[in-house]
Structure 1
């Protein structure tokens, strides 16, 4: 038996570090089990429920083991197996023809974070760089909030998340994060803090399981969190309990901000939110009582709005207004990946070798469907990404991918919604079969993944595929493609500071902060003058969209599209198939079902200007009247009911250019 350090590479808060037990001599099932590290301060010795049975997924009978070539029309997973070398030969020939007829930039590579490993995501850029092609950039997740916070602080990472369990943290405000189902390791820390006496406030668009642990909680309609934040700011202002000394010393343009807060109309906001002041008074009093001892944990769903970055800014302003930064027991937890840049940039430069080629033409990822519809691109490479599940405005995306003059290559572990539009599919290795480095975005640091043997000879890492393709392109003497994954990883380790490299080599990971560390204790932020830039704050945005949300017809609903607790976007369906029927349902509050004279179990039509589909009606008390919920990420095996992203506009969030997934309004009516 062989033990190897592994890190979960899924696009998840956890990035769990574990010891993998392997039988390298086994004919097929070489990976035996994973034991999560108890000594890791965030993994804490346990996995989330959705991915405990890792081995069953790795050796699932539907895993792709051979290259595939299309035999049927696009839109269906109809393929024949083909020798890997022949598939690579066809792809290389097609690249040369495409460049000859349409130019280098007519080849487009697109990827995301389906595998969050550095090599998995970035090493293929060596190929696209040498080719001089186009590449997608940006993301579809948390970029809006990151952009909003960066306008304020010069960075979106300001707080050590392990401060959640600091003895000086007396209040945790969990705003828009379903930690019980989506970030269970943070839930563990919150429960630990509660046992030590910390109080908890939960604010969300639905009543999540964390509400049961909370001292105060409230639901706010999607896209209206900034209104509730303004309400809190105005009460703090009227009571005169804001930290004027903190604002004076550490914030630019704070006087103008005070003037704007003074103009906030409490009664108008309460009316817009359909709240009575008595419903929120105790919650706001807690925030005031524990000022200088409060941490905000902000989820990503809040900023999945056309104005998501602005919304996160207004929420962050509460902490700024109270002086809750730069000391123990305070801060704003969002994404902490910006802390990783202190050691990460040299690694990225080495992995991509970006200095060896000209700057590539970049296309915003959120605009992929629109860009492909222009006919400018003749060849598409997709890896670490299932866009036909993940991207908005899927009807346009599918039409674009169906083009007869677009040749598409997809690297995948299983057949997916996206492989339905592939001309050739290349089988991938799992993360545990790949040498890689993972940099978590919740608890900053870096950890290793030591590759175990893959029993399927045709399965390749992302870089191995492009390495073989480079050789087929006759790029034999190019140093870009001489190293293997292990050598790239080892050379990256040598670029790290000694203490980080030592910790990775001896324990498999390095965490940047201990529990007591406080970033920006000197309150000098990476802005032009070291101060928080309050001149970026605006309360006057999105009035038209807000009015559309407020002034809806009785049968029009704000749409929420979260992932279901046993799935990670469109992944893990193979091992959680017992829960697939959740994707055929739309959930409404019982009062809405009654007012529309509908029946539970009835098939109903859901529509807006982007798409329409039928779903089965169920009730859910956790959502408020006027809100509908359809779980996103339906795995390919269950495609009778479409992914709700058919209802989502591909108009991006304005600051970070990410997806505005919680901005949709849908009409609900009986089917004919």
Structure 2
């Protein structure tokens, strides 16, 4: 039997799949060509779903800790015993010190169904939650402040572009289906420019590659603005009619002369002019911006400056144009009858989670779909904090690095073992996540876990939606999506009001009703209304940047044997000339360290990165985030993962 499905991993793809099922077991996974964005192309992670669901590391029974916290020593216990213990421990805390209970949900899978936790925690007497973001929030806030919403043209509209500028993104690793449309545009004569801190895997598709100094993209963008404005090479009519705050922006842009930009970014004046002239003369022009570029101290304002190049050149609301960051197409998917937050709550900043767990007296913690020991900054402090908790429960499909600190691990239903409906943050389809097989062993979806806990804690379990087709129907109806489950079962679905080219109507949901060169909202909140670069003091040592690995998502998939076999031993990229100074040979073991922590890796020597940079692929089995102190971006409360000062030494 063949069943249409969707991959719910937290990445751009949102890939449509076709599953082959026999005797209640998935036997094959392949891509569904009916999705115009992904065209049946799936990555290694999608292919490995059979190993992920049925592998030896998959949890089918509840586990109880029998050894020291962090050692990962557990015994299997009956699921009823596990649920009773978890309910008892949470209830005890709720009766005495409700704010000492911390709830933390990650993005292990995207979708709607996992959000039912809301109707569990908001029946409690109180709780502490985690705020802030590890992924894309600085850029999201930036684009929303500038354009009023976060959306872009359909992925396949890329094929209509004549110039594609890819800025701080590596689709060859992180969005492989986007390459389908980029390559098709190139076949039609489009030019491709890649601006990135390194010569990435995407570089072979580019006609021009520019490598600015890490953390200086804001300067490069503003210098391009200044050149285009001074030489009157921008779309005057569009700027006058559809933008706000241009005069203040123009005054700020004057600071970014070609000489200044060359000194700061290490990009030559000639290259800056060449890129700017390409943008001004080749139409239609589209600009693709990655998430990594905003995981730095001035990440939000950097994305604002880059996104405004599309507005300056009038390349908004046109076929083959626009700015592409993330695509939060309306209507959004929402669950009906969600409880409002109770009053007795407080927050912990994700960048200081370990420290604040101690400072705020957290005693009991529940973690859902997250592995913060591997994903969060200052992981050493977090490990220490988790050790000191009175009780930790993790809901997961495997024993993650974080779950090794748990007192109880509840086995979660895995992909295709529950119903869900979801949207991608790249393409505009609505997709049904079909329940294809039953949860293995004692594993269960979070909705059932929370209903079971609610029943044991004398809360109202009926307020927590069950995971069934009626739940999906209620989400579609409440979200005003004119589609049935049968419609979604036919394949990826586009709503009637879907727009292939966004902002064609020139309607922008900003305070001014226009694209804002000077953001009214940010100005009112005390942030820079106009993007402004502030020089940092990182002049000592190397600058650490972490990049995504093609075969894993953060720490997910590290337990799949076929992927483990393909991955090299943990490594770091170092410039060849830097290595010569440090007397480091290719493949030798090095230590990357700072005041926060240290990791040991093998050196990979290359000319594809700048001197002074050390680049480490994330998703390796190392404690990389022990090097990250914990700092928020300028706007959006995202986490600063890049441009981190470190030292390197040879391990003797």
Q: TM-score, normalised by structure 2?
A: 0.93
Structure with higher helix content = 1
Larger displacement relative to structure 2 (614-623 or 493-502)? 493-502
CA distance in 2, matches of 1:580, 1:328: 40
Query: Which residue of 2 is the match for residue 254 of structure 1?
Result: 246
**Mapped partners of 2:223, 2:259: distance in 1:** 9
Mapped to 1, the partners of 2:17 and 2:546 lie a distance apart of 31
The alpha-carbon distance between structure 1 residues 615 and 498, as it changes in their structure 2 partners (threshold 3 A), is closer
Judge conservation of contact 2:37–2:155 (CA < 8 Å) in 1: no
Q: What displacement does 1:626 show?
A: 1.3
The separation in 1 between residues aligned to 2:625 and 2:486, in whole angstroms, is 42
Distance in 2 of aligned mates of 1:541 and 1:230: 9
In structure 1, list runs of 5 or more residues that go unmatched: none
Question: Is the Cα–Cα contact under 8 Å of residues 151 and 502 in structure 2 kept in the other structure?
Answer: no
Residues of 2 paired with 1:430 and 1:111: CA distance?
16
CA distance in 2, matches of 1:504, 1:232: 47
Q: Are the counterparts in 2 of residues 124 and 462 from structure 1 also a CA contact under 8 Å?
A: yes
Matched, 1:219 2:219: no
2:426 counterpart of 1:439? no
Q: Distance in 2 between matches of 1:592 and 1:288?
A: 37
Q: Deviations over 1:164-195 (max 9, x none)?
A: 122xx211111111101110011111111111
Counterpart check, 1:294 vs 2:279: no
How far off its partner does 1:369 sit? Answer: 2.2
SS at match of 1:561: strand
Structure 1 residue 498 displacement after superposition = 5.3
Measured after TM superposition, the shift of residue 565 of structure 1 is 1.3
From 493, 507, 528, the equivalent of 1:524 is 507
Q: Is the 8 A contact 2:158 2:286 kept in 1?
A: yes
Q: Paired residue for 2:605, among 607, 610, 619? A: 619
After superposition, the Cα gap between the structure-2 partners of 1:41 and 1:231, relative to the gap in structure 1 and judged at 3 Å, is: same
Q: Does residue 1:428 correspond to 2:427, yes or no?
A: no
1:649/1:145 CA distance change after superposition, 3 Å: same
Write the mapping of 1:283-432 to structure 2, written as runs, cut at 5 A. Answer: 283-291=275-283, 293-337=284-328, 339-340=329-330, 342-344=331-333, 347-350=334-337, 353-355=338-340, 360-403=345-388, 405-432=389-416
Within-5 A mapping of 1:70-469: 70-102=65-97, 104-120=98-114, 122-131=115-124, 132-166=126-160, 169-291=161-283, 293-337=284-328, 339-340=329-330, 342-344=331-333, 347-350=334-337, 353-355=338-340, 360-403=345-388, 405-454=389-438, 456-469=440-453
What is the aligned partner in structure 1 of residue 525 from structure 2?
A: none
Q: Relative to 1, partners in 2 of residues 1:74 and 1:356: Cα closer, same or farther, differing over 3 Å?
A: closer
CA 1:110/1:455 → structure 2, altered by over 3 Å: closer, same or farther?
Answer: closer
Per the alignment, residue 656 of structure 1 pairs with 636
Partner of 2:523: none
- Report the counterpart of residue 579 of structure 1 in structure 2: 566
CA contact (8 A) 2:455 2:461 kept: no
Note closer, same or farther for the CA distance 1:517–1:671 as it changes in structure 2 (3 Å cut). closer
Q: CA deviation at 1:515?
A: 10
Question: Which is further off, 593-602 or 489-498?
Answer: 489-498
The 1-side partners of 2:252 and 2:85 are apart by 62
Aligned runs of 1:512-551 on 2, under 5 Å? 517-536=500-519, 537-543=529-535, 545=536, 547-548=537-538, 551=539
CA distance in 2, matches of 1:51, 1:328: 31
- The separation in 1 between residues aligned to 2:64 and 2:99, in whole angstroms, is 24
1: CA distance, partners of 2:59 / 2:166: 40
Aligned with residue 35 of structure 1, among 15, 20, 30: 30
